[in-house]
Amino acid sequence: MVSIIIAIIVFGIIIIVHEFGHFIAAKKSGVRVNEFAIGMGPKLFSKQCGETKYSLRLLPIGGYCSMEGEDKSSEDDRAFCKKSVIKRIIIVAAGALMNLALGFIFIVIMTSMNDTYAGTTISWFEDNASSQASGLQVGDRVININGMHIFTDTDFAYQLQSDKDGIFYMTVIRDGEKKELKDVKFSMSENDDGKKTSSLHIDFKVEPIERSISSIASQSWRRSVSYARLIWVSLGDLLTGQYKINDLSGPVGIVTAISDVVSNETTDSGINWQELLQNLFSMAALISINVGIFNLLPLPALDGGRLIFLIVEGIRRKPVSPEKEGAVHFVGLALLMMLMLYVTFNDVVKLIN
C-alpha cells in the first residue's frame, strides 16, 4: 500500500507541474483561468478562489487548466482566444516545458546523491577481451556507437545490449584525437544448441567521474538529453514494429512500475533509502520528460496539435475556423481516449497476471 501511495504522489507531482505550467503562463499573460483541476472524472473537492475554481477529481490520471475562450469564442477581453499568437503559443507549450524542467531537476537531485558516476572512457579489460582484440584500448573515450552519439553510460549500455550480432562501428577519442574503429567485436552467449543469442558480454569497465559542481551540471544535462532521445528512439521503434502497442504503459502501468521500484528496495532488513530514492528520481525524471515530449507531439488534442494550429495561424495571419479546429481536436481526443482505455486494460491485465 505504501508503495502505491508513493507512486501516486510521484505521478501526481508530474501532473500538477504540467498543469501549473499552463496555469502560471496563462495568468502572466492576462488570461482568465476558470478551473484548475487535478485528476479527471467526478469532482471530490473544489474551492473557488477569486476567478478560479480549484478542483480535485476522482481519477488520478491527468488534470486540466480550463481557460476562458480556449475551445470556443468569447467576448471577454481576458479570453485565451483574444491574446496574441505568441502568448497563446507560450501558454500551450508551458506545460510540456515545465515537465522537461522538472525531469532535469529530478536528474540533478539523483546525480547529486552519487559520489562518482560511470563515464564512457575505457579503464580495464578482462583477460582475452574480444573488444580489446578488435580495436578498443584503455583510455579510449567512446563518443559514438553505430551512428548514435554517446552522452552517458546509459547510451553505452543501450546500444551494446540492443545489438544482435555483437559487431559495432565505434568512434572514440584516443590521445586527444578522434579515431574510427570498424568491426569492434564482443562475444555472444550461446544456447544449448550452439546458436547465438542476442545476449552480449561486455568485457570491459569504464572510468568513474568524481562528483563536483561542474560534473553534476554536465552529467545532469547529458542524462536529460539522453533520456529525451531514448523516448524518441522508442517512439521510432514503436512505429517500425520493433515494439508492439501492447508494450505501451498508461497511468496504471506507470504507477505499477514506480510501485515495483519501491518494493524492490524494501527487504526484511528495511529499506535501502539511497538506492530507493535514486531509482525513484531516475524513473520520475524519465516519466516527466516522457510526458513533456509526448505532449509536444503534433497530434490532435495534445499540446503539440494545438501548437500546429497556432503556428498555421501565425503564418496565415488569421486563425483557423474554431469549428474546424474543435472538430479535429474532438476526433483526436476520442482516439486518444480509446488508446488510453486499451492501454489501461492491458496494464490491468499485466497487473493481474
Buried/exposed code over 259-271 (b: 16+ C-beta within 10 A; e: otherwise): bebbeebeeeeee
* Strand 266-267 versus strand 188-190 pairing type: unpaired
The three-state DSSP-derived secondary structure of 151-188 is CCHHHHHHHHHCCCCCEEEEEEEECCEEEEEEEEECCE
Residue 144 contacts by C-beta under 8 Å, 6 or more apart in sequence? 150, 170, 171
- Catalytic residue of the set 19, 68, 70, 325: 19
Looking at residue 321, the DSSP 8-state letter turns out to be P
Active site residue 19: yes
Best CA proximity match to 40, nearest among 336, 257, 261, 247:
336
The helix (H) or strand (E) run that includes residue 259 is helix 251-264
* Cell numbers linked to 208: 568513474
CB atoms within 10 A of CB 155: 23
Best CA proximity match to 333, nearest among 81, 71, 25, 94:
71
The Cα–Cα gap between 54 and 21 comes to 15
Looking at residue 320, the DSSP 8-state letter turns out to be P
Judge whether 47 and 36 are in contact, CB under 8 Å: no
The Cα–Cα gap between 184 and 198 comes to 16
Q: Position of cell 561542474?
A: 214
* Strand 33-49 versus strand 266-267 pairing type: unpaired
Strand partners, 266: 271
Judge whether 57 and 103 are in contact, CB under 8 Å: no
The Cα–Cα gap between 220 and 213 comes to 11
Q: Which residues are catalytic?
A: 19
